Amino acid sequence: MWRIIVDDVPADALGVVAGALEPCGVSVSWFGEDAGPWQVSALTADAPSPAMVDVALAVACTAAGIAVPAYRMEPVAERDWLAAAWQDHAAFRVGRFHVHGSHDPSPSPFGTIGLCVDAATAFGSGRHPSTAGCLEALATLKRRPAGPALDMGCGSGILAIAMAKLWRLPVVAADVDPEAVRVTRANARLNGVGTLVRAVTADGYRQPVIRRGAPYAVITANILAKPLQAMARELATVLAPGGIAILSGFLAQDERAVEARHRAGGLRRMQSIDHGGWRTLIMANPASQSDAPL
């Protein structure tokens, strides 16, 4: 495995740089303080092509009117990924959820729902602000959904597992990366919800494996702004009447565009959650909006 790293990315250029690197790797992540600068990192299965990275960054940054950043590439030892993911990371709480790794056997505090998640070779330890926003959004839903749930772009499976443990209902967890699917299955078993979480390889809502499980009462999609916008209309076709969509993985400046695309697909804005400039949108199917479990 390899990693493409762009250092010192200004906060207002984060979405552009992350979006440019997305086609180059299987997963993209961001690290930094709210005001920046940020580090953008893309994980690839094989050694990336410098020419492809050069073109991707040049096209995206030139179109956005920002300077093309420098980057570096380095190999990643898969055997060290789990340790690196949890190094110096103590358990933490988001809403009703207590998130920890398998290295921390301490019991969850009374009244919380424990989520034991090992990121391994898939992204999603739960510490990113977009994941925290999704967990917080799930905790705000007051009534148990009346149908199955879907987590699109599941990564480590943390959101799928959270829904399964919160409501004890079946959840489809989908990701384009087969390794994420494998990790999600392992984490679901680790959390005692292996029979409730069905992890599948899929790259969107049109896939037969996704449509067979529709309609979904709740859909979470913690991915980048561009794919959220591109799949907005498809999401609407598999969301149940009165269903809730929780959308995240984008910055404040992208919120209006993400919301507009989903409104065009027939959804309505219910609430927005901010975590350090990262936004999480809660939207509802207006066909039976009064039935939405908010």
The CATH number of whichever domain residue 169 belongs to comes to 3.40.50.150
Kindly state the average pLDDT of the residues 85-107.
72
Assess whether 14 and 155 both reside in one domain.
Answer: no
Assess whether 158 and 264 both reside in one domain.
Answer: yes
- Asked whether residue 109 is assigned to any structural domain, the reply reads no
Assess whether 66 and 155 both reside in one domain.
Answer: no
For the chain, the 3-state helix, strand and coil shares in percent, each to the nearest 5, are: 35, 30, 35
Q: What digits encode the pLDDT tens for the residues 68-93?
A: 999 999 997 655 545 554 554 567 78
Residue pointed to by tokens 């898969």: 78
pLDDT at residue 12, rounded to an integer: 76
> What's the number of domains the chain is made of?
2
Assess whether 167 and 62 both reside in one domain.
Answer: no
Task: List, in sequence order, every beta strand (DSSP E) within 127-277.
Answer: 149-152, 171-175, 197-201, 216-222, 239-251, 268-275
Assess whether 141 and 248 both reside in one domain.
Answer: yes
Which is more confidently placed, 47 or 198?
Answer: 198
Residue 231 has pLDDT above 90, yes or no: yes
- List, edge to edge, every strand of the sheet that includes 268-275: 197-201, 171-175, 149-152, 216-222, 239-251, 278-284, 268-275
What element of type H or E holds 206? none
Assess whether 29 and 126 both reside in one domain.
Answer: no
Assess whether 28 and 125 both reside in one domain.
Answer: no
Mean pLDDT of the chain: 86
User: Which of 76, 110, 132 is a domain's end point?
Assistant: 76
Q: Residues 6 or more apart from 65 whose CB is under 8 A from it?
A: none
User: Which of 43, 59, 76 is a domain's end point?
Assistant: 76
User: Which of 49, 76, 103 is a domain's end point?
Assistant: 76
**Segments in 65-200 forming alpha helices (H):** 81-86, 129-140, 158-167, 178-190
Residue 161 has pLDDT above 60, yes or no: yes
Tokens encoding 214: 């529709």
CB atoms under 10 Å from CB of 37, counted, come to: 13
Residue 102 has pLDDT above 90, yes or no: no
What element of type H or E holds 66? none
State phi, psi for 212 to the nearest 5 degrees. -65, -30
Lowest-pLDDT choice from 41-50, 124-133, 141-150, 219-228: 124-133
State phi, psi for 164 to the nearest 5 degrees. -65, -40
- Asked whether residue 90 is assigned to any structural domain, the reply reads no
Residue 258 burial (10 A CB sphere; 0-12, 13-18, 19+): buried
- Asked whether residue 235 is assigned to any structural domain, the reply reads yes
Q: Which of 277, 291, 200, 281 is nearest to 36 (CA)?
A: 277
CA dihedral angle for residue 228, residue 250, residue 161, residue 104, rounded to 10 degrees: 160
Assess whether 266 and 169 both reside in one domain.
Answer: yes
Q: Judging by DSSP bridges, how do beta strands 216-222 and 197-201 pair with one another? A: unpaired
Residue 290 has pLDDT above 50, yes or no: no
Which pLDDT band, with edges at 50, 70 and 90, does 291 fall under?
Answer: very low
pTM for this predicted structure: 0.73
The CATH number of whichever domain residue 50 belongs to comes to 3.30.70.2030
Assess whether 166 and 62 both reside in one domain.
Answer: no
Assess whether 147 and 51 both reside in one domain.
Answer: no
- Asked whether residue 82 is assigned to any structural domain, the reply reads no
- Asked whether residue 132 is assigned to any structural domain, the reply reads yes
Assess whether 67 and 185 both reside in one domain.
Answer: no
Give the burial string for 131-164 (b: 16+ CB within 10 Å, else e). Answer: bbbbbbbbebbeeebebbbbbbbbbbbbbbbbbb
CA distance 92 to 129: 13
Assess whether 56 and 156 both reside in one domain.
Answer: no
Could you tell me the residue range of the domain that residue 37 belongs to?
2-76
What element of type H or E holds 14? helix 14-21
